[in-house]
Structure 1
Amino acid sequence: MENRLFIQLAHKLVAYPQVYDLVQNLVGVKQVQGHMQPFLAHLENQLVLDVGSGTGLYRSVLPAEVDYIGLDLDPMKLVGLQERVQDRLGILLADATRICLQDKCVDVALCVFLGHHLTDEQVKALMRELARVVNGHLLFVEPLNRPQSKVSNLLWFYDRGSHPRTLSTWQSFLKRDFDIEEQQVFSIYHEYLLCWCKPKQIA
């Protein structure tokens, strides 16, 4: 009972943008950004959609010359995004499984640490929507379920997301709608999957 109350309190605290950013930095977001950067450094004057953007922690990985749309369901996080990013910014308070954008209208999408908050059916809907709106590539990053790691298990225990998944499960979800052009698995505290994907061509 005490553990559950503590977790509920922790989740409420993390809802505040400043606390959220602090926690993300403590669990290694800078190292994750380092793995993302080579895929994004070449972008110029392109439109980037960040689904589940939160406070826009990954905007700093992108060149200044891109237009950035942050999409999130949490209005408090989007307030933090507005404080972090002032230029070339669009904001969508919306559900990532029902993206209110036209087909093939964004050059690149980021989906970082969103999937483990979603059920299987929601993940399928997310992938369909991303494949619909993306004209170029998706950069997808997720922590993996690694039960043998005590540190990873502890992080999952306190994580607001309740759907940790294995490498093969995430690959299956992605391959329904995307071709994976490059894949990395790396470790910080969690083990992470990074995929650089292109939407499948519809025959």
Structure 2
Amino acid sequence: MSVAMSEQKFMIRFCKAGIISITACYQKTMALLCGKHPNLYPWHFQWTAIRDLNRDLADVLPTLEGRVLDAGCGLQPYRFLLPSVTDYVGMDVVPGPFVDYLVKTGERFPFLDESLDAVLCTQVLEHVEDEVFFLDEIARVLKPGGRLVISIPFIYQVHGAPHDYRRLSEFGLRRLLPGYTVERVNHQGGIGTSLATLSLGWLHTQLDATTPTSLVKMLITPLLLPLQAVVNLLGVLLDCCDSTRAFYGNLLAVAVKNSDGSK
């Protein structure tokens, strides 16, 4: 009995190791075929989710100068868009190779008052437990006249669970920025791309739910990629018919800290 159990445990470990290896190989292959964030190809299932965000960041970020903080930097995917900054620092609650300052949730930022020229915060605010404290810290470290570039989803699936706390409309985001003059708020996407993002996100979440369905997903990838390209294209075309400004998937705001401290 003990020999049989040992053989069974060995087979289980062997199968798990095989699945892990297959998954890693699949992910590397998909990165080659579909691109890596933020440079995704139109047949990637997340392409519609970041297409307009990438466009707007490419317009805004090159205008930033001086000392810039990337709050929630991750892998610093947008650093290449800031050629004029003198000092670019990354901060996050999760350690990583591009994290210059590691902080705990709810901890004060490790910067002096009014010491930064700009703060970049992309797709982070929805994961912050206390958004008021977080934004107060940004206001504290920004110089008067300093710029905040911030983005957050409005229509998007649950992600980063259990640390996914909110979605914001333009009106909700503006209410969180007292003490700033909001220069611009860009609505990103419309009904078409929102539907494309949600439907393809649902499909991948469903397929990734179990090991057997994940293996099925790998097998049907040659069918998935053209399907995703068609869904994404239809989403973009449908956006052209959407004049409601009510079904955007994401928001990007650029705000300037008031010099007189007024709210």
Q: TM-score under structure 2 normalisation? A: 0.54
Offset at 1:60? Answer: 1.8
Higher relative contact order (CA 8 A, sep 6+): 2
Identity percentage of aligned residues? 22
Question: 1:114 aligned to 2:124?
Answer: yes
Q: Structure 1 regions of 5+ residues with no counterpart?
A: 1-12, 83-90, 147-151
> 1:87 maps to what in 2?
none
**SS of residue paired to 1:181:** strand
Q: 1:31 to 1:181 in 2, by over 3 A?
A: closer
**SS of residue paired to 1:34:** helix
> 1:182 maps to what in 2?
184
Runs of 4+ in 1 over 4 A off after TM superposition: 21-26
Contact 1:43/1:66 (CA < 8 Å) preserved in 2? no
> Matched residues in 2 for 1:184 and 1:41: separation?
17
Q: 1:70 to 1:157 in 2, by over 3 A?
A: same
In the TM superposition, what whole-angstrom CA distance separates every residue of 1:68-106 from its partner, at most 9, and x where no partner exists?
10000111xx22x27xxxxxxxx1111475211001111
In the TM superposition, what whole-angstrom CA distance separates every residue of 1:93-126 from its partner, at most 9, and x where no partner exists?
114752110011111100111111123xx10011
Contact 2:67/2:85 (CA < 8 Å) preserved in 1? no
> 1:172 maps to what in 2?
175
Give the alignment's Cα RMSD to 1 decimal. Answer: 2.9
> Matched residues in 2 for 1:199 and 1:111: separation?
15
Contact 1:52/1:111 (CA < 8 Å) preserved in 2? yes
Q: How many residues align?
A: 163
Among residues 225, 243, 250, which one is paired with 1:192 in the alignment?
250
Offset at 1:127? Answer: 1.0
Contact 2:179/2:257 (CA < 8 Å) preserved in 1? yes
For 1:80-91, what aligned pairs fall within 5 Å after superposition? 81=98, 91=100
Question: 1:202 aligned to 2:261?
Answer: yes
Among residues 38, 51, 57, which one is paired with 2:71 in the alignment?
51
> Matched residues in 2 for 1:55 and 1:163: separation?
22
For 1:96-111, what aligned pairs fall within 5 Å after superposition? 97=106, 98-111=108-121
Contact 1:48/1:108 (CA < 8 Å) preserved in 2? yes
**SS of residue paired to 1:164:** coil
Contact 2:53/2:252 (CA < 8 Å) preserved in 1? no
In the TM superposition, what whole-angstrom CA distance separates every residue of 1:32-70 from its partner, at most 9, and x where no partner exists?
2221122222344x1110000011111122116542100
Q: Which amino acid in the other structure matches residue 254 of structure 2?
A: W
**SS of residue paired to 2:175:** helix
Contact 1:47/1:68 (CA < 8 Å) preserved in 2? yes
Q: Which amino acid in the other structure matches residue 131 of structure 1?
A: A
Q: 1:186 to 1:115 in 2, by over 3 A?
A: same
> Matched residues in 2 for 1:112 and 1:49: separation?
11
In the TM superposition, what whole-angstrom CA distance separates every residue of 1:115-155 from its partner, at most 9, and x where no partner exists?
11123xx10011111111112100011111x3xxxxx3xxx
Offset at 1:184? Answer: 0.8
> 2:88 maps to what in 1?
68
Question: 1:94 aligned to 2:103?
Answer: yes
Contact 1:37/1:62 (CA < 8 Å) preserved in 2? no
Q: TM-score under structure 1 normalisation? A: 0.69
Contact 2:69/2:118 (CA < 8 Å) preserved in 1? yes
Contact 1:52/1:96 (CA < 8 Å) preserved in 2? no
> Matched residues in 2 for 1:106 and 1:96: separation?
21
> 2:150 maps to what in 1?
140
> Matched residues in 2 for 1:60 and 1:30: separation?
17
By percentage of residues, which structure has more strand?
A: 1
